[in-house]
């Protein structure tokens, strides 16, 4: 399949933190309305920027399938500002779908790491407000502020227990009581996953988010939501972006493309 050449533009939209910068990737040649992907960058809720989309699976999907990608540069502030900024980008993308060339019946939300956690939280937000989302792609998502079996004592590369504790502490620092952390802040807290969009994700077996990713997919299935997970061996968090030449990263990206192609053909 010939890759689609992309054009990139940056606009500013109103949001909870003031004016939010978003990067828009659009095929230079397009016919008709296209799937729209809101792609949310990672960074442990404490770092990162919209420009990370250029190294992400979001850009890959735009190149391979001619999708329109909107990447928000959400404010690196405590909850709830990042989620509210992402929600503003979703609302803006939906409201301006015609201008952007997006098919409103094919809205996808995806992202990696903390962006995966925000993906799951934003899908909850969209479900609760009857905003149609057709597919979620929370890659190795940062979902649970509580220690799990694989995040409790993890010494993997790029992200480990110490960094994980730091990220969650900074993100949740405005909440008075950790016992009442809302599911919009930590999607693993949500008791009812019914009505969420179908999900595909992948994760490495040696990284901190292995256990919470498995559990999220299991619980989606229990709630009647189609969900699929692929597990690869290794402990380099964000391996698809940081080590794209490895066989695991190549396999993960191929499978994601296959899943997306099936979605496109429905």
Write down the domain spans for the chain. 6-174+182-265
**How does strand 199-204 pair with strand 18-27?**
unpaired
Mean pLDDT of 235-249: 97
The pLDDT value given to residue 1:
61
The pLDDT value given to residue 190:
97
CB 168 within 8 A of CB 197: no
The pLDDT value given to residue 179:
67
CATH fit for domain 6-174+182-265, picks 3.40.1390.20, 3.40.50.1820, 3.30.200.20, 3.60.15.10: 3.40.50.1820
Burial label, 258 (beta-carbon count in 10 A; 0-12, 13-18, 19+)? exposed
pTM over 0.95: yes
The pLDDT value given to residue 222:
98
Q: What percent of the chain has pLDDT over 90?
A: 92
The pLDDT value given to residue 2:
76
Question: What is the band of 17 on the pLDDT scale with cuts at 50, 70, 90?
Answer: confident
Question: What is the band of 187 on the pLDDT scale with cuts at 50, 70, 90?
Answer: very high
């Amino acid at each position: 399949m010939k890759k689609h050449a992309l054009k990139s533009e940056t606009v500013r939209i109103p949001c909870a933190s003031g004016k939010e910068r978003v990067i828009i990737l659009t095929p230079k040649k397009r016919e008709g309305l296209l799937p729209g992907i809101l792609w949310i960058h990672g960074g442990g809720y404490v770092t990162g920027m919209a420009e990370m989309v250029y190294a992400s699976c979001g850009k890959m999907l735009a190149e391979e399938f001619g999708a329109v990608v909107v990447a928000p540069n959400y404010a690196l502030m405590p909850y709830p500002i990042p989620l509210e900024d992402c929600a503003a980008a979703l609302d803006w993308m939906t409201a301006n779908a015609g201008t952007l060339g997006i098919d409103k019946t094919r809205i996808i939300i995806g992202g990696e790491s903390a962006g995966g956690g925000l993906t799951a939280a934003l899908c909850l937000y969209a479900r609760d407000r009857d905003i149609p989302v057709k597919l979620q792609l929370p890659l190795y998502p940062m979902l649970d502020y509580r220690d799990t079996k694989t995040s409790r004592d993890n010494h993997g590369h790029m992200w480990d227990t110490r960094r994980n504790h730091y990220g969650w502490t900074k993100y949740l620092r405005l909440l008075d009581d950790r016992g009442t952390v809302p599911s919009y802040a930590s999607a693993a807290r949500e008791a009812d996953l019914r009505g969420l969009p179908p999900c595909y994700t992948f994760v490495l077996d040696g990284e901190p988010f292995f256990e919470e990713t498995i559990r999220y997919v299991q619980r989606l299935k229990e709630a009647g939501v189609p969900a699929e997970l692929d597990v690869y061996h290794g402990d380099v968090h964000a391996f698809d972006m940081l080590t794209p030449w490895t066989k695991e990263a190549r396999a993960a990206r191929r499978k994601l493309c296959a899943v997306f192609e099936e979605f496109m053909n429905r």
